[in-house]
Chain A
Amino acid sequence: MPYDNAKTYDKLIFELSSPGRVGYSLPAPDVPVEPARAQVPAAYLRREPVELPEVSELDVVRHYSRLSQMNYGLDTHFYPLGSCTMKYNPKINEDMARLAGFGRLHPLAPDALAQGALRLMHELAGMLAEISGMDTVSLQPAAGAQGELAGVLMIKAYHEANREKRTKVLVPDSAHGTNPASTAVAGYEVIEVKSDANGEVDLGDLARHLGPDVAAFMITVPNTLGNFEPRIVEIIEMCHARGVQVYMDGANLNAVLGITRPGDLGFDVCHFNLHKTFTTPHGGGGPGAGPVGIKAHLEPFLPAPVVVKDGDRYALDWKRPKSIGKLQAFWGNFGMHVRAYTYIRTMGPDGLRAVSENAVLNANYIMKRLESHFDVAAPGPCMHECVLSARRQKRLGVTAMDIAKRLLDLGFYAPSTYFPLIVEEALMIEPTETESKETLDAFCDAMIQIAKEAETNPEVIRSAPVTTPVRRLDQTRAAREPNLRWRPGA
């Protein structure tokens, strides 16, 4: 057996500390320190030294290298997480984001000294507007949920400017959790709209809820079951007829690049997840970027400042009296803008369309290969992801979670599980276009193996994973007796 670091390494950085050891390199002072210290009132100065580890540079490098080996990343594993669009993150994006002119630029550098950065942002916003068919795009939101908040706040400002009092936002029961959460933060009452048996919006239920007190309808297209909402144009027309703004959650935009555009469908607002469709890395849980696109009637309310072009000069326009304000201290997650820009310029219009076509092909291929082994949540063809149900396996004592854990043992990350909420024992699979047929076949083979194991040897699934650094963890204990920080001797 080769030495298995992930199984045997169990340290935290604090447990490597040795008094007097250093890992940093700082210059000797070239100006006096003590007189400056004397200028600060003693009560403002730290009394006890900060308890941080004392380790060498190699200690640090080896520790974090070893910890990294306890992760499944996209670079090492197929990651079929539905709704997350775990596609390849191109390395050239990283080189570009690290160019000193981008990575080392101070946000409060005068506009005249940041022309390249402002131009990149202006062009990226323009390209996202073209891709989505929206009129204007703000790059400021830091992530999808913040894009949602920005979008809903703009809708709110719009209704208020029209002196309309609307207090409710409609959200399908299949929606991502951020939709109701963002809407609630914006001060709206959230009303759930039912889905029909195929996971599509129940038009009757929608019509019942549409009234003069409804500000917006928020919907994911393609929906969270992986299907294009076939009556979307009618839905949007129904909403507009009642003065209701329509918001598209753009989490699934990877399915429709160059095929259809939210703006052309009639949407008033849509956000983009640059960390999904536009290949910026997920980083173990962010940073992402969640630009928001809008139609012209919402432009006065855009987050400030807006990047504008005047002749051949670019600037941050702060004179936005009706703006909803700011969402981040500065202009957005610029490092992610550089990566997304690099990606779009790499792909070009034909490349982006090929992205969606191959994403759809890959998802349908997986669905077809697995449909006789698992229940399918909604009939195909699907778009960029397919949702299976493990309800058949559950009768054999194997849950969606068990299947996810077994996949880890077989060398794959897991699909999204238990989402959307309207599908029993949901397994949501999004392969993305960057995976090869060989990888998809290997994954399908593993899923079929698991389906067979459920019938012949369910225990091997229920006891999974056994090859990971730890086995199943006690979540109840973690929540009942929260241990959220290390303490010496604990």
Chain B
Amino acid sequence: MRYLPNTPQNQRAMLDVIGARAIEDLLVKIPAKARLSRPLGLPPALAETDLIRHLRALAAENADADSYTCFAGGGAYDHYVPSPINHLISRGEFFTAYTPYQPEASQGTLRTIYEYQTMLAELTGMDVANASIYDGASSLAEAALMAQAVTGRTEIVLGTGVNPLYRRVVAAYCEGPGLRLRDVPAPEGVLDGAALRKLVGAKTAALVVQSPNFYGCLEDIAAAAETAHAAGALLVVVSDPVNLGVLEAPGRLGADIVVGEGQGLGVPLSYGGPYLGVFAAKQEFVRRMPGRLVGATVDLDGRRGFVLTLQTREQHIRRAKATSNICTNVALCALMATIYLAILGRRGLARVGELSLAKAHYAAERLGQVPGVSLRFSAPFFKEFTLKLPKSPERVVARLARGRILAGVPLKPFDRRLGDCLVVAVTEKRTKEEIDAFAEALARMVA
């Protein structure tokens, strides 16, 4: 067995040193009644070549974004992933290292996290970003808990435009501390300001706004900030950082906490994970933040070095009184994002945003010209928009998939009232030809 180096001779020699006859003698503390008396009922071991054949066959059954033109979004996007990312993260020194608890032997990881924190703080317009949370949804859940801890209040007001999958995660996390979730309707695709002002009040710990929201529409973050702050609540903004080369940093619009899904920053689609939970906040909240933080310091010789810091917030020190239960996070995905942002740089990220914006608007126009198809909302959008279709969106998706087009995300499972709607995402990777082909296929389907 290629992962087990002990030969029978090695085992014998080791048992002799231990003074045991057999490995079985080492298991004496496990009571007989607790022992498994048969082999595990698992399929037999496969040789590498057979295993590859088997997994390739499984992989071939999936409509991946290499063989299909992907217009699906809803929180995961087919953005450009520069080639060096995979090569660099695959270096064993990064890939197979543990959490940097021994900083002298982990300066590589610590430096990259410090760079990541810097880049994400800059992108979001916040003072400080942490080293990452599991994904966008769990970042939002952690933000809700943090808002409760900061304000001592008991309600979270969520815009209907917040990704409904995130909402379910927030609800699960809020069960323990007894936080109540309240929804603001979005009949026109964006927050209803009047309804919002009624719901946000003295009990509100945080108002949560996602922009662009689940329907693709851009929200008025500054107005939301005003409403939240007037009631003494925090404003939590759910943001997609890959858009922030073009869109204003939420921090400059009044956000107190910015969270979001960083998958677009060079992280593979991978059927939903592992992804990258972004978490950034104002300086005044740093000691309430969840997750790891890396700080700069000096060593005994005065040389610059980096360490995990402010660890008294964390579970391995504070146990039941920690700011969060998070331990393992997603350092490697944060490294992907760091390399991505280094490669794209100041101008490239803006270019990604502009191209996505332009192509999405071209697609909205082309698709909106298909007879019977219209844009569901009139609010401004960014790289994603909601279409109203004359035929069942699920059937449209299934039919277009025959032509190797993933048309988008039907809204019916999330909101029955929008059962005739499809959310379409267009990244910088889509070409005019692909969009035209999509429009033609849709026209044939709904005709």
Contacts and interface: CB of A to CB of B under 8 A. Distances in A.
A376 interface: no
A51 B121 CA distance: 10
Contact of B29 (A40, A381, A413, A483): A381
A350 B46 CA distance: 12
A71 B335 CA distance: 14
Interface string A115-134: 11101100000010011010
A12 B315 CA distance: 30
Given A184-B320, A404-B102, A228 B332 contact: no
Given A227-B29, A484-B295, 4 more contacts: A57-B82, A99-B56, A127-B42, A149-B173
A178 interface: yes
Contact of A142 (B5, B40, B273): B273
Interface in A261-282: 261, 264-265, 275, 281-282
B348 interface: yes
A465 B105 CA distance: 9
Contacts of B369: none
A397 interface: no
A104 interface: yes
Nearest to A229: B29
A100 B66 contact: yes
Contact of B54 (A65, A67, A286, A345): A345
B15 to A, nearest CB: 7
A52 B344 contact: yes
Contact of A26 (B55, B268, B428): B428
A260 B44 contact: no
A436 B19 CA distance: 19
Nearest to B356: A36
B58 A360 contact: no
Given A335-B274, A479-B295, A60 B74 contact: no
B305 A108 contact: no
A361 B294 CA distance: 37
Given A55-B345, A70-B107, A86 B98 contact: yes
Contacts, number: 728
Instruction: List the 7 closest pairs (A to B, CB-CB), nearest first.
Output: A330-B272, A101-B59, A75-B92, A348-B45, A283-B332, A107-B272, A187-B176
Interface in A67-113: 67-77, 79, 81, 84, 86-90, 92, 94-110, 112-113
B248 A45 contact: yes
Interface in B55-99: 55-68, 70, 72-76, 78, 80, 82, 84, 86-99
A43 interface: yes
Nearest to B316: A177
B40 A26 contact: no
Interface in A397-456: 404-405, 408, 413-414, 419, 433-437
Contacts of B122: 50-52, 485
A376 to B, nearest CB: 13
A283 B295 contact: no
Given A32-B362, A368-B17, A473 B272 contact: no
A408 B104 contact: yes
A405 B105 CA distance: 9
**What class of interface size applies to chain B in its complex with A?**
35 or more
Interface string A245-266: 0000000000011111100110
A416 to B, nearest CB: 8
Q: With a 10 A CB-CB cut-off, give which of A25, A285, A349 has the most chain B CB atoms.
A: A285
B342 A53 contact: yes
A60 B340 CA distance: 10
Nearest to B104: A468
Interface string B337-361: 0110111111111111011011111
A120 B246 CA distance: 39
Contacts of B51: 92, 96, 342, 345-346
B163 A329 contact: yes
Contact of B331 (A283, A436, A468): A283
B11 interface: yes
Interface string B121-164: 11100011101101111100000010000000000000000010
B144 to A, nearest CB: 11
A360 B20 CA distance: 12
A27 B63 CA distance: 25
A41 B380 contact: yes
Contacts of A489: none
A146 B41 CA distance: 28
B75 A61 contact: no
A144 B327 contact: yes
A473 B98 CA distance: 18
Interface string B281-307: 000001000001111111111011111
* Interface class of chain A by DSSP: loop
Interface in A113-169: 113-117, 119-120, 127, 130-131, 133, 142-146, 148-149, 153, 156
- A36, A103, A404, most chain B CB atoms within 10 A: A36
A50 B347 CA distance: 8
B194 interface: no
Contacts of A419: 316
A202 interface: no
Given A45-B248, A329-B261, A61 B84 contact: yes
Contacts of B295: 478-479, 482-484
B345 A436 contact: no
B350 A50 contact: yes
B34 A233 contact: yes
B6 A436 contact: yes
Contacts of B331: 283-287
Q: Which of A63, A108, A149, A181 has the most CB of B within 10 A?
A: A108
B223 to A, nearest CB: 10
Given A50-B122, A187-B177, A477 B361 contact: no
B4 A358 contact: yes
B348 A470 contact: no
B100 A285 contact: yes
A181 B316 CA distance: 9
Given A330-B273, A478-B295, A486-B114, A110 B394 contact: yes
Contact of A185 (B128, B324, B327): B324
A143 B327 contact: yes
Contacts of B56: 99, 101
Contacts of A352: 40, 42
A103 B270 contact: yes
Given A57-B343, A177-B319, A284-B331, A258 B36 contact: yes
Given A92-B48, A185-B325, A364-B18, A102 B270 contact: yes
B367 to A, nearest CB: 13
B58 A350 contact: no
Contact of B218 (A27, A44, A49, A53): A44
B357 A346 contact: no
Interface stretch (A203-211, A319-327, A388-396): A319-327
B264 to A, nearest CB: 13
B42 A116 contact: no
A485 B121 contact: yes
Given A324-B172, A479-B309, A381 B25 contact: yes
A373 interface: no
Nearest to A256: B30
Contacts of A12: 111, 114-115, 118
Given A47-B248, A57-B343, A364-B20, A185 B177 contact: yes
Contact of A181 (B36, B104, B169, B315): B315
Contact of B273 (A53, A318, A335): A335
A135 B331 CA distance: 32
A234 to B, nearest CB: 9
